[in-house]
Amino acid sequence: MKKILGSCPSCHALNKIEASDVKKQPICGKCKTPLAFHDLVQDVTTEEFDKIVRNSSIPIIVDFWASWCGPCQQYGPTFQMVSNEYGGHVQFLKVNTEKNQDLAARLGVRGIPATMMIKDGKITGNIAGAMNYDQLRSWVEQNK
């Protein structure tokens, strides 16, 4: 199983983590701060996103969302459930567009929820709107 990258919320160091170890509440190898994951999904800032994209050897799926967005709130649990199926083969990130407007604008996010697939630093898939479990799994398979 390939490792996913976890960005430390304290020192912003990148940590390589076995997907099977994420549920064991991993800590940062540099500063020992607990790494925050929800299943295999990590909320990231613009800086953390950029680091992970530059250093990832596996495809990355990103959910762009906001706290006030009803469809985003409904889609979040589906995104988390699908992340568990791809542990270590695909990295799952969430970006809060309220806190990271610059990143959303840079990547051309026009509406939320929006889901993007990134491979080798390039956007290879992009879809707007919430998907159900089967739709998201199918989209991941088509784009990974």
Closest CA to 35 of 22, 52, 45: 22
Based on the residue annotation, tell me whether 28 is a catalytic residue of this protein: no
Find the catalytic residue in 8, 28, 31, 69: 69
CA distances from 45 to 12, 60, 104 (A): 10, 15, 11
Place of tokens 């985003």: 72
Give the span between the Cα atoms of 131 and 69, in whole angstroms.
14
Tokens of 69: 């967005």
Based on the residue annotation, tell me whether 11 is a catalytic residue of this protein: no
Backbone torsions φ then ψ of 130, nearest 5 degrees: -75, 145
The catalytic site residues sit at 69, 72
